[in-house]
Structure 1
């Protein structure tokens, strides 16, 4: 597993933990940074992902809901929802990651960590986001 793949997985851990505990994502991130416990320190790219998602939380959620034609965010499995957030952030906000790489990484993690149908679901939603990215970029407001 490459360094960025591991960083994405660790970012997913933070997002998932915050959701499961009902705690603000930024608070969990700061807690992990201050007290990593038995885990290795959180990679810089994990921190960048989580902070980027927190900064654009509402915007990303709207984009994801628009791209997910039959599932609301609340109905999605938590792992899928957060992998899609990571992939959407990489597609829309990180020029250093190719769109195909962002989608492939999210799909691989979904296949490893979620339901049997998750990989194809994540692929479909992120594919729609990638397809619509130019239009999204021109109409999105920076919060």
Structure 2
């Protein structure tokens, strides 16, 4: 179990790094999500196939559902337009909201805690509280069935 936890945590970091990177240089001209992923320095430097596989699943899922994830983040980030959310926080939120909504094997509390850990590692002093507030509100609504029967705490 702890190895799986470590694999997933490292996979989240790799996926986050790629998501953060594409916020500066949006894909264009033949750059498919797979190509972006496969040529990412974070992936090329990673030795664990398990980490690479989990990060791929997360990155491609977030990339595929980016518009829906952004809509959900926008709906829950009261008083903050999506364009005003810092790139670090937005990448973390996209990843964490994807896990909340699309990874039934990951408990809500775990998805929230992992988002907070990413915020502690990569964000600034306010990142943790901002991300926690949004993820907690989404998780509560998931738990109350607003998103259908996904999962619960």
1:63 deviates by: 0.5
Q: How many residues align?
A: 135
TM-score w.r.t. structure 1 length?
0.85
Instruction: Summarize the alignment of residues 80-95 of structure 1 with structure 2, pairs less than 5 Å apart.
Output: 80-95=89-104
Q: Give the 4+ runs in structure 1 shifted more than 2 A.
A: 22-25, 30-33
Q: Which runs of 5+ in 2 are unaligned?
A: none
RMSD: 2.1
CA distance, structure 1, for counterparts of residue 21 and residue 36 of structure 2: 8
CA distance, structure 1, for counterparts of residue 106 and residue 59 of structure 2: 15
CA distance, structure 2, for counterparts of residue 69 and residue 136 of structure 1: 19
Partner of 2:17: 13
Q: Which runs of 5+ in 1 are unaligned?
A: 139-143
1:87 deviates by: 0.8
Partner of 1:29: 37
Structure 1 window deviating more from structure 2 (7-16 vs 42-51): it is 42-51
1:49 equivalent in alignment to 2:53:
no
Partner of 1:60: 69
